[in-house]
Structure 1
Amino acid sequence: MVEHISPLPSVDSLLRAAETEVLLTRFGRTAVTATLRDILATRRAAHTFGDPAAAIIDEAADHLVRRFARSQRPVFNMTGTVLHTNLGRSPLPPEAAEAAAEALRNATNLEFDLATGRRGERDDHISGLLCELTGAEAATTVNNNAAAVMLVLNTLALGKEVPVSRGELIEIGGAFRVPDIMGRSGAILKEIGTTNRTHARDYAGAIGPQTGALMRVHQANYAIVGFTTSVPAATLSGIARDAGIPLIEDLGSGSLVDLERFGLPHEPTPRESLAAGADVVTFSGDKLLGGPQAGLIVGNKRVISAINCNPLKRALRLDKGRLAALEVVFRMYLDPDRLADRVPALRLLTRPESDIRATAKRIGAAIAMRWPDRDVAIEACRSQIGSGALPVDLLPSTAVAIGGKALEELAKFLRDLPRPVIGRIARGRLILDCRCLETGDETAFIAQLC
């Protein structure tokens, strides 16, 4: 006797099924229909028949959930790097995120002067605050610090030479190099000095008729120690002033306050650079400052005015959402005594070691319960402040260290959780640094392990 095999259901019958109604409501008829057709075509090609309609609809639901899931999702950063470039750097203060969302949802006075009823300038929403916080005469913004450096060089030194110390020709994440930025800007790099020692005479000797500016680049992601010499900004500004050319200083991460007040290593501030005589200073908004991705440019009025007249400025400008977020963050800096509580980046960097250890113990207990056959230990470790932001200075922290076999598979399991957990494998163990797992996140972390 030949066994009877039920044919595959039609697309129309599947669409009419009661179980499909929720998919149609959530994902729309076009996407549901296309998914059902793909599943049926795959079954026909594999000669797979006889599955009930409910099984096909369940498979379609799985496909649709994956297809419509957001690609960019919140993760638990347990890598040990607080301002992690690949994980979005600084988390925004909730007030800044809400301001950005409100601006993006609505029409705003982005480039409209409410007082006069005429066209306004988008930078006016934050330039006054930025000048107040840095002591600059004028300020402007672009979409990141690399763009800021490129715009400044293109404005002040297009087709002209810019002497830079060899020890400052840094490479940042993604094989992104200062010499490449300078080349794209139209400026001509003139290397001076050596990797470990550059003197004032090197700068003075490099200046000629084709020199457009002097440039000083903060060594934001590495340090040269030992037999070293560098030229301070105050000395360079005098050399530049005598030659009648501007001094550009790129601070990289940058900070609007002296971080030593929070027990962190000192990082040069724009106010210090300007006070030392720099004509224009560039720095990031999304690293130590704790705001959204942005390139911030401060300096004297003449230079900033020339930068704002450059056609490239429009191509690199900030959108209304990030400007709204920046304004909120800048206003927080007007109250420096509460910064460490209000700005998440600073709160994570200054989090007490006792709090981190308490978190690690609770997380470790949950992990040991979930995987009783694994070796789970609580141990002291060191957190990195950030790649590109004080990378050689480490902070005392506590981690959950997980041993055993198949660590890559375990790391993959954690990355596949509803809110992915990102750790690192080192010395034959999976390390989960708990500095960035604040108390409010513990419940969510533990719940998804069950």
Structure 2
Amino acid sequence: MNLVRFASSALLASLFGAVCAPSPAAAQTLVWQDEFNGPAIDRNRWTYDVGDGCQIGLCGWGNSELQYYTSRPENARIENGRLVIEARREAFGSRGFTSARLKTEGRLHFKYGTLEARIKVPDLRNGLWPAYWMLGTVGNWPARGEIDLMEMGSAAAIGAGLTNRRVGAAVHWDYRGSQADYGRDYDSASDLAGGFHVYRMTWDPQFIRVSVDGRQFFEFAISDIEGASLHEFHQQHFLLLNLAVGGSYTGILSNAGISAPLPGRMEIDYIRLYQNPGSELYTGAEAPAGKFGVYTERGDMNARLNYGRDAELYLWNNLTPIAAPAYEGSQSMAFRANAGAWYGLGVYTGYRNLSRFGNGRLKFHMRTTATNSFKIGLNSSFGDSWIVFAPGGQQYGLVRDGRWHEVSIPFSAFHDLDLRALKQMFMLAADPPGSNVDVFVDNVYYQDY
């Protein structure tokens, strides 16, 4: 990968360490692991990205990839004590290949530690792209940060005749508003495909280091947080595992260009995370059942968001607060949207595990006389999921007569929703209205029945 342009060579020298043999790790504690010994993939540890990326505005997952990711056992399963991710040549959805991408988002996030995985990749020649990597939990890419612990099948490796022997590691981040990248490759004397190898990352406040079979080939200094804009690498990340087909990394952008033997299997024997005292670990504790208050002052909630501490109400566009009596308590969402511009808002919470509410409902009170279409949404590890309120369509209890009405939406009505990893627990948005619109929302909560 090309290194981003920085202001001085001195800064570069401070960021990128020399390649050397790894130093012995300090005593650490095993805090998380998956040995893949169960009968099926543990959904308390892993979830999936599904589709071709177009559903979240990233067709080809932002990399011109050719596969459609599924959660089917044909593409991801436990077999003989190993996680198998299998890429197949088959028409599915909009694509000519299928595969799988698993992630621990909303299940495991961590900052600092030693992460070790024993992985076997298939014959990659040419067009398969296995990856074992991490994404930050805060912000939008590249400002969320990315750490690639193992990637193979690059266009450069193909060109050098090293497709099955070259492994790469890299980091990506935001440097003063621009994407920054740094990567290093290791060329093995023998094929890495077809056999198991141990890929290890050590991450502390000073360095990110990566090794394969005990040989360190990547080192990146992260202690100059302000000077090099490295905040991303001092926040929690989650893990991802996938086997992509084609894409910009491989340089192969057409189905006909894929010559790798298929089906191709990426196998993971284990993943283990070790941490020191003081390192951060998130494993997604469940919220209490019953009623969870999102925006309400009622006293019968089992738990609730605390604005200014663990939640914020963001006005995205074209909403002006107006004075109006609340449905309950002293505060409500009371806004005016002007004609000719879209409007929207969202309640941001970070990650919340509301998986106990899967058979329940999103409830809120709303009053309006507006007849335009709008939508109510939630954001989780799968992206945005919306329910459209169109004139003449399903209103879930809303009557547009200017009086308060309870709206009750079953969570089953939302598509692609991961209640274990909610990041925005209430969103409202609409296309530009033809005339000014007043919208009032109050008493927003989740109910588990």
Q: TM-score by structure 1 length? A: 0.28
Q: Which has the larger radius of gyration?
A: 1
**Greater strand share, 1 or 2?**
2
Q: TM-score by structure 2 length? A: 0.28
**Greater helix share, 1 or 2?**
1
